[in-house]
Chains A and B, each alone.
Chain A
Amino acid sequence: MAAVAASSHAPTPLLKDELDIVIPTIRNLDFLEMWRPFFEQYHLIIVQDGDPSKTINVPEGFDYELYNRNDINRILGPKASCISFKDSACRCFGYMVSKKKYIYTIDDDCFVAKDPSGKQINALEQHIKNLLSPSTPHFFNTLYDPYREGADFVRGYPFSLREGVKTAVSHGLWLNIPDYDAPTQLVKPLERNSRYVDAVLTIPKGTLFPMCGMNLAFDRELIGPAMYFGLMGDGQPIGRYDDMWAGWCIKVICDHLGLGVKTGLPYIWHSKASNPFVNLRKEYKGIYWQEEIIPFFQAVALPKDCTSVQKCYIELSKQVKEKLSKIDPYFDKLADAMVTWIEAWDEQNPAGAAAEKPNGKA
C-alpha cells in the first residue's frame, strides 16, 4: 500500500526557501494580486520579454528579481543566443539562474481557479504535494495517484512497484480557456473547459505527452537542465512549441533516468484566449514538423553511460542534429542551442549542480 500515508495527513510544507516562481511577461503583473495569498511568501523570478526599456510593474510586497533582455545578454554573453526573444520561451532563463530546488512557472494570464465546492485552489500547494510524493511510471494505477488521501494501489498492482520513483515534473491543467492549437481554436472558438477532473496521475514510462508551460512545476535538481524551452519567436521559423519541445525532451530523459512525471491537478483559471490567426502563423510549421519529431522522440534510446541530465541532454542534442536536421536547418541550430544551453547552465550552476544518478540505471 502507499507508504507515504502519514504525509497525506500532515500539512504540505511551504518550501518557501526552496522554491522559485518563474514568470515570463511583456505586459504587467497585475495578475499577481489575485495570487497574493498563495505566492507572497515566495521569491519570484520575472523574465521580461520584449522591449527592455519598458518598466514592468510588480505589485508591492513581492520579493523578486527581474531580468530583461539586456540582463540576459549581459549575464550570458554570447551564450544568450540560446534564449528566445519575443516568445515566452525566454522563461527558461529564469530556471537557469534560480538557486532553488524547485521551480513553479505560470503565465501572466492565469488566475486562481475554484474547485467544484467553490473553494479557491492553491495551485502551488498541490504542485508541491505532487512533487513531494512518488510517481508510478512502471505500472498504471486505475485509481490514479495512490499516494493521495483517500486513494491507494488497486488489487493486482505489484507490491514491488509500490514505492514509486521520484517525481521530477508536475503538470497542471486549466479551466476556462483550454490549451488548444490554432486549428482547434478556429473550429471551436467558444469551447471552454469546465470539467474539473479530480485526479493526479503519472504518465507511464514510454509515453509522450504535450507539456504545457502555463502551470508547471518541477524539481530543478532532478531535471532542470533538460527544461530548455528551445529557439522560438523573433528570427525563428516557429513559435508555441517551446514547452512542447521541453516536454518531449524531459519525458525521454525522465524515462531513462527513472524519474516520474505527473499530470492533472492543480487547475488554474486561464483567462485569455490568444488570437488563433496569430497562433496559426506561429504554429503551422510545428504542426507538420511534429509528425516527424514525435517518431524521433518515441525511438530515442539514450546510452547507459548517460547518467546525468546534462549528459542525457547533450546526447539528445547530437541525435537531434543527426536525425532532425534533414527536416529543416532549424533543427541544426536548435541542436547547437541545446548544447549552448547546457554550457550556460553549468556556468550559472557550477560544481555539484550536475546530480549524477547513483545507480546510473538506464
Chain B
Amino acid sequence: MSQANIEKSEIDIVIGALHSDLTAFMNEWKPVFSQFHLIVVKDPDLSAELLIPEGFNLDVYTKSDIDRVVGSATSILFSGYSCRYFGYLVSRKKYIISVDDDCVPARDNNGSLVDAVAQHITNLTTPATPFFFNTLYDPYCKGADFVRGYPFSLRSGVTCALSCGLWLNLADYDAPTQALKPEQRNSRYVDAVLTVPARSLMPVSGINIAFSRELLGPALIPALRLAGEGKLRWETVEDVWSGMCAKVICDHLGLGVKTGLPYVWRNERGNAIESLRKEWEGVKLMEEVVPFFQSVRLPESAITAEDCVVEMAKAVKEQLGQSDPMFARAAEVMVEWVKLWKKVGSS
C-alpha cells in the first residue's frame, strides 16, 4: 500500500510531556510533525506551564482533563511516562505514533533527516512476516524481496500492529549497563526493518513507538509501576511490561510486530549511576516474568485486544500475583483499563 493512501487524518502523534518547555523539541520535529494532529499530555506531576511553539495542530491534556475523564476512583496512574497512555485513550485515530520528549529527529547514513512518522506508517501499513524469518529482512521494502526457500503461502504476511523504532546516541540501555559503559553511544545505523518472529519475546521500548490503535489500542497499558518509578527511562519498566503483553497478544491474534527503522536521536539526560538504585527493582522483576510470558497461552475465545487483555490479567493475577503485590496490582490495572477503554476509548 503506498503511503499516499494513508490519510494524515488517520494518524495521531501522542507526546507525553515530562518537561514543561517543549519549544526545542517541537521545533526540531516541526518538519515531520507539522502536518499531523498532535495530542500532548502533560505529566500530572509537572507543575510548570507547558511551553509549546505556534504552528501545530494539537490538543493538550493536563491533570484536570485526566481527572475529569478517568475519575478519581481508579487504580490507574498516569504520572510520569504513563501520561501518554491517556493520549492513546482519548485519540480517535487509526494509528498512533509516540516518541519521548527528549528525542529529536535522527539523520541517516546519507545525512538526511529521518522522517520517523513516515517510516512508522510504512511499517504499520505493510505486512509483517512472523512465521518464517526472511534473511533479507523486510521483503516489502524497495530493493528487497523474499529469499529462495521462503514458503509462498506465507508471503502475503499478516497485518503489522506494532512498530518499534530505535535510537541513536543514547540507546535504551538499562541503568547498570549505561553506568558501566558511561561513554558508550549508539552510532550504528542499521538500515533494516524486520518482523519479530511469533512466540519470540523482546523488550519493547516506549521511546519511539507506533501502533494500530484500532487493532491493538487496549493492549498498551500503564500497568506495571515500580515503587520507585522516576522521570528517567532508567527508572521505569512500564513500557517493557506493556510491550511483553502486547507481543503475546499480537502473537495470539496473528498480528505482526516490527522492529528496526526508524531511528530517533536521543539526547543526554540523567545519571545512570543515580538511577541504579531505583531501577534495580525493575531488573529483578523482569527475571520473574520471563517464564510466565514465554508460557502464557490465551484461550481461542479471545478474539479482540480487549478480550486478550482481560485474559492476560487473569493469568497475571493467578500466576504472578502471589509472588509480588506489584503484579497483582498490574493485573487490577489491566482490568480497569479495559473497562475505561470501553467507556472512553471506543468511539
> A residues within 8 Å of B by Cβ?
1, 5, 116, 139-144, 150-161, 171, 173, 178-181, 184, 188, 191-199, 203-212, 240-241, 243-244, 247, 263, 283, 287, 290-291, 294
Contacts and interface: CB of A to CB of B under 8 A. Distances in A.
B135 A152 contact: no
Contact of A196 (B177, B191, B234, B287): B191
Q: Is the interface of B mostly helix, strand, loop or mixed?
A: loop
12 contacts: A116-B109, A142-B172, A153-B173, A155-B237, A156-B286, A173-B136, A188-B145, A198-B189, A203-B133, A210-B134, A244-B149, A294-B154
Contacts of B198: 207
Interface stretch (B22-30, B178-186, B323-331): B178-186
Contact of A206 (B109, B200, B259): B200
A151 B186 CA distance: 7
B146 interface: yes
B302 to A, nearest CB: 21
Interface string B112-154: 0000000000000000000011111100010111111111111
Contacts of B188: 150-151, 198-199
A170 to B, nearest CB: 12
Contact of B200 (A140, A156, A181): A140
B171 interface: yes
A101 to B, nearest CB: 25
Interface stretch (B4-12, B59-67, B76-84, B201-209): B201-209
A241 B202 CA distance: 31
B101 interface: no
Given A152-B173, A207-B198, A294-B151, 16 more contacts: A139-B200, A139-B202, A151-B188, A155-B177, A193-B136, A196-B191, A197-B192, A199-B188, A208-B133, A209-B132, A210-B132, A210-B133, A243-B149, A263-B133, A283-B148, A290-B149
A161 B290 contact: yes
Greatest chain A CB density within 10 A among B135, B177, B184, B189 is at B135
Contact of B177 (A153, A173, A204): A153
Nearest to A148: B188
A178 B144 CA distance: 9
A171 B164 CA distance: 25
A180 B203 contact: no
Of A143, A196, A241, A243, the most chain B CB neighbours within 10 A belong to A143
B147 A210 contact: yes
Contact of B203 (A1, A154, A263): A154
A142 B148 contact: no
A46 to B, nearest CB: 24
Pairs A-B, 9 closest by C-beta atoms: A156-B203, A210-B149, A156-B240, A204-B200, A140-B202, A209-B133, A207-B197, A244-B149, A155-B174
A180 to B, nearest CB: 6
Interface of B: 109, 132-137, 141, 143-154, 164, 166, 171-174, 176-177, 180-181, 184, 186-192, 196-205, 233-234, 237, 239-240, 243, 259, 283, 286-287, 290
Contacts of A142: 164, 166, 172, 202-203, 205, 259
Contacts of B233: 155
A195 B191 CA distance: 7
Given A116-B109, A247-B149, A156 B143 contact: no
B205 A178 contact: no
B29 to A, nearest CB: 22
A153 B93 CA distance: 34
A283 B151 CA distance: 12
Contacts of B287: 158-160
A152 B196 contact: no
B153 A291 contact: yes
Contacts of B145: 178, 180, 184, 188, 191
A155 B147 contact: no
Contact of A155 (B152, B172, B190, B259): B172
Contacts of B197: 140, 203-204, 206-207
Given A139-B290, A198-B191, A203-B133, A154 B173 contact: yes
B243 to A, nearest CB: 8
Contacts of B184: 150, 152
B146 A184 contact: yes
A327 B200 CA distance: 31
A212 B177 contact: no
B148 A179 contact: yes
Nearest to A294: B151
Contact of B148 (A116, A157, A181): A181
A86 to B, nearest CB: 19
A213 B289 CA distance: 38
Contacts of B200: 139-140, 204-207
Contacts of A178: 136, 144-145, 147
B134 to A, nearest CB: 8
Contacts of A150: 184, 186-188
Contacts of A283: 148
B88 to A, nearest CB: 20
Nearest to B197: A207
A263 B137 CA distance: 10
Nearest to A192: B143
Interface centre among A156, A181, A188, A291 (most CB of B within 10 A): A156
A173 B135 contact: yes
Given A142-B164, A196-B191, A197-B191, A290 B151 contact: yes
Contacts of B187: 150
A192 B233 CA distance: 41
Given A139-B201, A152-B177, A198 B190 contact: yes
B172 to A, nearest CB: 5
Nearest to B247: A140
Contacts of B143: 191-195
Given A1-B176, A150-B184, A173-B136, A199 B192 contact: yes
A154 B201 CA distance: 13
Contacts of A194: 143
Nearest to A172: B135
Nearest to A263: B135
A241 to B, nearest CB: 7
A295 to B, nearest CB: 9
A158 B148 contact: no
B306 to A, nearest CB: 25
A17 B148 CA distance: 34
